[in-house]
Each structure stands twice: as structure tokens, then as C-alpha cells.
Amino acid sequence: MARKKIALIGAGNIGGTLAHLAAQKELGDVVLFDIAEGVPQGKALDLSQCGPVEGFDAQITGTNDYADIAGADVIIVTAGVPRKPGMSRDDLLGINLKVMKSVGEGIKTHAPDAFVICITNPLDAMVWALREFSGLPHNKVVGMAGVLDSARFSTFLAWEFGVSVRDVTSFVLGGHGDTMVPVVEYSTVKGIPVPDLIKMGKSTQERIDAIVKRTAGGGGEVVALLKTGSAFYAPAASAIAMAESYLLDQKRVLPCAAYLDGQYGVDGMYVGVPVKIGADGVEEVIEIALNDTAKAGLQVSIDAVKELVAACKGIDETLA
Ligand code: A3D
């Protein structure tokens, strides 16, 4: 059986990390694409030379030509610019929308059968625009944010309770912005909901509220420390989990920016919700019951995404 092919559009911090993880996990051969000449080729050469040390046979190549992504099974898009301190994700909209147009057209022409995972910010609007520009089916284009935001939430919860991260599950819904909604009621330590753990005296409401706030600002905390860009290790690991679920038909339930067609009262937009990812892409959007606080929070987040999508339509008339 031929190896799977994974194309990475954008060979920056996340792109390079994605290539390394995909090769280490032997998910398939990797093509790194970027408009910067030499960068994808240089990273591909460097990463290929990890093979003998780490024991992987995956071929890693770098390119500036979209024709080389032909036949890709999975495409992960990080092309564009990241935040610098003081910037919000929304400040990136104008410049990254243009990037999504060229990437969408490249995918449409050369790899229309791929499963596409978008990471470029502002995520919920960029994944929507990328789908529009590429014309791929909605179930084959998805955004990575919820896996990362939940991983941040789970990390802080594991630290708070002094338990293994493997025993923590958590959910963050809504748009990937300051209005995201970490759902405490669905967050557990080995099935024990966080509100029960508070009742058991393992933490306090105030401490959990602070963790929720830290989760929502989790990306900004890393940006402020790095000063030159944004997080890339955990974003890459999160997208690889999604790619793996598709390639291996794992049918994992993961919070992702998915196209909603009436679910959660949203029509024709991408918002972060739990979905099942398998060989057919996004196989199901899972609608969970939310309490009034989470519902209200989700609505604020949906409205924020709506504004960004409207801004995209205002910039590019082909999207209107
Ligand atoms: P960076 O290291 O700057 O890499 C971006 C790469 O994109 C660079 O190598 C550029 O040369 C390349 N690029 C620019 N324009 C194009 C184009 N038209 N076609 C192809 N390549 C192009 O950034 P990064 O890897 O740190 O971040 C990439 C994106 O991910 C940014 O938009 C971030 O804001 C976003 N991001 C999202 C999350 C989410 O959770 C959604 C987390 C972290 C970063």
C-alpha cells in the first residue's frame, strides 16, 4: 500500500513542527509548501536528516509549487502571519484573507479530494473563507482550535488537581478568540465533573474561574512571553491529532471549528463544537445540552465570529 501524503501549506513555526510530528508518527510522506523560497526546502532537508536518528522512513520534501501537493490525503494550512504582542487575532484578518484566497485556489486546482485542516487566524473566519475559496465539501474542511484550547484547559486543570493530564478531559466551545467558552460542567477528572470536585473540596469556584480566564487568554499568554510570534508546539500537536483521526478512521470526538447547518442555532458559519472525525471527514456534529451561562457565552462567541465573516465579505466581493 502506498504511503499517505500530507501537504503542509506554510512552513513556518507550526508548519515545521507539523512536519516533524507527522514524520515521527509515520503518518505518511510530507510535502512542505511556502512562498518563501528555500525555507520549505531547507526545513525538509533538515527534518529528513532526523530520519536515521529517530528511525522514520517518511519522505519530507519542500516546495514553492502548488503542483507538488497533488494527491494529498491531508492538507494542514498555517500560511499567513501570526500575532505579535499587543495584537488580537482579528487584527490579522485582512492580510490572512488574501493568503486564504491563494491557498484555497491551490487546493481546488491540485488536491480537491484532501481533508483540509485550517490553523491560520482569525481561525473561525479563515476556515470559512478557505472553504469558500476552495469549494471543497463542508465536511472536508475543518478548523483547529478547540483541541488546542481544551488542551490548555486540561493542562491547567491537571496542575490544579495534581493529577495526570491523561485523566483530565475538558471542552472548550465557540470561536477561537477571547470569547471562547470553556465548559466546566463537561470537564472531568476520570469522569468526575469539575463542579463535583469543587464540592469535594479539591478546588474552589474562584480558582476554577481563574483557570477558565487563563484558558481563554492562553494564546495571548504565550505571545507575550515569546514576543516574536505565537504558540506552535501545542497547535501542531493538536492538528496532528485531528489528521490522525481522519487517516486512521479513529472517529475521535474532538472540539473543532466545524461548518454548522442549523446546529446550535447557527447557519452557514464555522464555530467550535464537538465533532466526530473519521474517514469521511467531519462525520457528525455533536449537539450537547448547555446550561444558560454556557449558552449565553456561546452566543456572544457566535456573534463575534459573525462579525468577522461579515468583514471578510466586505473585503472580498467574491465571498458576498
Ligand atoms: P509563521 O512561523 O510566521 O509561519 C507562517 C508561514 O506562512 C511563513 O513561513 C510564511 O512565509 C508563510 N506564508 C505567508 N504567506 C503565504 C502564502 N500566501 N502561501 C504560503 N505560505 C505563506 O507562523 P506560525 O506557523 O507560528 O503561525 C501560522 C498561523 O497559525 C498564524 O496565522 C497564527 O496566528 C495561527 N495560529 C493559530 C492557532 C490556533 O489555535 C487557531 C494557534 C497558533 C497560531
Ligand 1 pocket check for 229: Cβ under 6 Å: yes
Strand, helix or coil for residue 52 = helix
Ligand 1 pocket check for 101: Cβ under 6 Å: no
**CA–centroid distance, residue 201 to ligand 1 (Å):** 43
Ligand 1 pocket check for 99: Cβ under 6 Å: yes
Short-list 138, 156, 179, 171, CA closest to 253: 171
Residues 6+ apart with CB under 8 A from 6: 22, 27, 28, 29, 30, 31, 72, 73, 74, 75, 76, 243
Cβ-contact 254, 159 below 8 angstroms? no
Residue 211, annotated ligand binder?
Answer: no
Which pLDDT value is given to residue 87?
Answer: 84
Which pLDDT value is given to residue 173?
Answer: 93
Ligand 1 pocket check for 15: Cβ under 6 Å: yes
Cβ-contact 171, 186 below 8 angstroms? yes
Cβ-contact 242, 265 below 8 angstroms? no
Residues 6+ apart with CB under 8 A from 207: 160
**CA–centroid distance, residue 129 to ligand 1 (Å):** 16
Which pLDDT value is given to residue 178?
Answer: 84
Q: What residue owns the CA closest to ligand 1's atom 8?
A: 12
Which atom of ligand 1 lies at the shortest distance from residue 229's CA?
A: 26
Q: Tens of pLDDT along the chain (320 residues)?
A: 889 999 999 999 999 999 999 999 999 999 999 999 999 999 999 999 999 999 999 999 999 999 999 999 999 999 999 888 888 888 899 999 999 999 999 999 999 999 999 999 999 999 999 999 999 999 999 999 999 999 999 999 999 999 999 999 998 999 888 889 999 999 999 999 999 999 999 999 999 999 999 999 999 999 999 999 999 999 999 999 999 999 999 999 999 999 999 999 999 999 999 999 999 999 999 999 999 988 999 999 999 999 999 999 999 999 97
Asked if ipTM goes beyond 0.90, one says: yes
Q: What residue owns the CA closest to ligand 1's atom 34?
A: 82
pLDDT digits (tens, 9 = 90+) for 260-287: 999 999 999 999 999 999 999 999 999 9
Ligand 1 pocket check for 122: Cβ under 6 Å: no
pLDDT digits (tens, 9 = 90+) for 222-265: 999 999 999 999 999 999 999 999 999 999 999 999 999 999 99
Q: What residue owns the CA closest to ligand 1's atom 7?
A: 79
State the Cα–Cα distance between residues 235 and 89, nearest whole angstrom: 15
Q: Which of 14, 32, 99, 172 to mutate to test the pocket of ligand 1 (most atoms within 8 A of CB)?
A: 14
Residue 152, annotated ligand binder?
Answer: yes
Residues 6+ apart with CB under 8 A from 161: 168, 189, 197, 202, 203
**CA–centroid distance, residue 50 to ligand 1 (Å):** 23
Which pLDDT value is given to residue 109?
Answer: 98
**CA–centroid distance, residue 80 to ligand 1 (Å):** 4
Catalytic-residue membership of 176 = yes
Single pTM value for the model: 0.97
Ligand 1 pocket check for 272: Cβ under 6 Å: no
